[in-house]
């Protein structure tokens, strides 16, 4: 990379895949508590598509807008306040781009130290590039739900990227898990142990103390009286009032940047508690092909890699 210029994937306004632009722009310089990270790999998530199409309007940042949440990369510079990362360290991070405007689909990204986890060399970058957003979302949702040992949890969207990790985290805690998928064939995507599976055609009623909704809908009929509803899709939730009328508490999780949570997630991956799927890889500058693949691949596992490797 020419020191002051880098490639980034931007949109000038929301639109279809053709709205994505690969541009050479000025590379950022880290602030005192920030780390400058050169991209090894990133990935595609539904939130990227929602920002691209305008379904989600970012809270911060101006157009042209650089997209992207996930990041595996190499530390190339650190701010004055940072003493515990070295140049060349491999790191992992989730950039909450809709809240901060710091898109990760760029050759260099500057992020706060607190958002970044150090990564050893033994784990494959293209696999871990799927972890940050879906992993943090699942981890923070399970922490928010915090089911007691004798409680059962229904996970809606259990065959999806976030849902599968929620299921794995709950099983690891020893919770009783009901996995709700859309179609019967998606049951095959779930782990077999200790799992009660359902599809929407035969969705159960009154069986769960907690619903974790990673699908976006209204799955509250699965709850017992005075249950808890943890929603992950803020624009597709049952209303707070309707739930309150049944004594159900509603929580909405907005995923937060956290290097500490990511370090725990990487440890769970290393120990085999969490498994991540294989992805198809595209160089960052082939972003249009990557988005077309994402739309066609039912499992939506698409990774972006540095165009210079």
Ligand X SMILES: NC(=O)c1ccc[n+]([C@@H]2O[C@H](COP(=O)([O-])OP(=O)(O)OC[C@H]3O[C@@H](n4cnc5c(N)ncnc54)[C@H](OP(=O)(O)O)[C@@H]3O)[C@@H](O)[C@H]2O)c1
Q: Interface with ligand X by CB under 6 A: which residues?
A: 45-47, 133-134, 137, 156-157, 159-163, 180-182, 200, 214-217, 232-234, 253-255, 300
Cα angle for residues 206, 208, 163 (degrees, 5° grid): 130
CB of 106 to ligand X, least distance (A): 20
Closest to ligand X by CB, 10 or 45: 45
The least distance separating ligand X from the CB of residue 94, rounded to whole angstroms, comes to 9
Kindly tell me which of 36 and 104 has the beta carbon lying closer to ligand X: 104
Residue number, 26 or 242, with CB nearest to ligand X: 242
The residues pairing with 111 across neighbouring beta strands, listed in sequence order, are: 35
Integer Cα distance of 165 and 156 in angstroms: 12
CA 308 to chain CA centroid, Å, is 25
Nearer to ligand X, 52 or 300 (CB): 300
We find the least distance from the C-beta atom of residue 59 to ligand X, in angstroms, to be 12
State how far the Cα of 159 lies from the Cα of 169, in Å rounded to an integer. 14
Q: Minimal distance in Å, beta carbon 58 to ligand X?
A: 13
Q: How far from the centroid of its chain's Cα atoms is residue 144's Cα?
A: 16
Least distance to ligand X, CB of residue 26, Å: 29
CB of 23: closest distance to ligand X in angstroms?
A: 25
Residue 186 beta carbon to ligand X: minimum distance, rounded to whole angstroms = 6
Nearer to ligand X, 175 or 212 (CB): 212
**How many other C-beta atoms can be found within 10 angstroms of the C-beta atom of residue 98?**
22
Q: Which is nearer to ligand X, 191 or 307 (CB)?
A: 191
Token pair in block for residue 67: 């997209």
- Residue whose CB is less far from ligand X, 82 or 156: 156
């Amino acid at each position: 990379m020419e020191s002051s210029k880098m490639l980034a994937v931007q949109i000038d306004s929301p639109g279809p895949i053709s709205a994505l632009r690969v541009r050479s722009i000025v590379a950022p310089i880290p602030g005192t508590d920030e780390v400058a990270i050169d991209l090894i790999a990133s990935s595609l998530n539904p939130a990227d598509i929602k920002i691209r199409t305008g379904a989600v309007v970012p809270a911060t940042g101006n157009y042209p807008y650089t997209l992207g949440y996930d990041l595996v990369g190499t530390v190339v510079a650190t701010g004055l306040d940072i003493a515990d990362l070295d140049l060349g360290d491999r790191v992992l991070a989730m950039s909450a781009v809709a809240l901060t405007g710091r898109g990760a689909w760029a050759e260099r990204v500057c992020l706060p130290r607190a958002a970044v986890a150090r990564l050893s060399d033994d784990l494959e970058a293209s696999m871990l590039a799927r972890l940050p957003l879906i992993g943090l979302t699942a981890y923070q949702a399970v922490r928010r739900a915090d089911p007691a040992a004798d409680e059962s949890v229904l996970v809606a969207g259990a065959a999806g990227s976030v849902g599968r990790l929620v299921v794995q985290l709950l099983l690891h805690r020893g919770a009783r898990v009901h996995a709700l998928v859309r179609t019967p064939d998606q049951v095959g995507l779930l782990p077999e142990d200790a799992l009660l599976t359902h599809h929407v055609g035969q969705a159960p009623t009154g069986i769960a103390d907690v619903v974790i909704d990673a699908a976006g809908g209204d799955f509250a009929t699965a709850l017992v009286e005075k249950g808890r509803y943890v929603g992950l899709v803020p624009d597709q939730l049952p209303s707070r009032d309707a739930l309150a009328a049944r004594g159900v508490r509603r929580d909405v999780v907005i995923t937060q940047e956290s290097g500490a949570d990511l370090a725990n997630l990487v440890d769970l991956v290393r120990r085999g508690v969490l498994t991540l799927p294989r992805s198809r890889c595209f160089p960052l500058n082939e972003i249009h092909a990557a988005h077309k693949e994402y739309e066609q691949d039912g499992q939506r596992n698409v990774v972006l890699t540095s165009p210079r490797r």
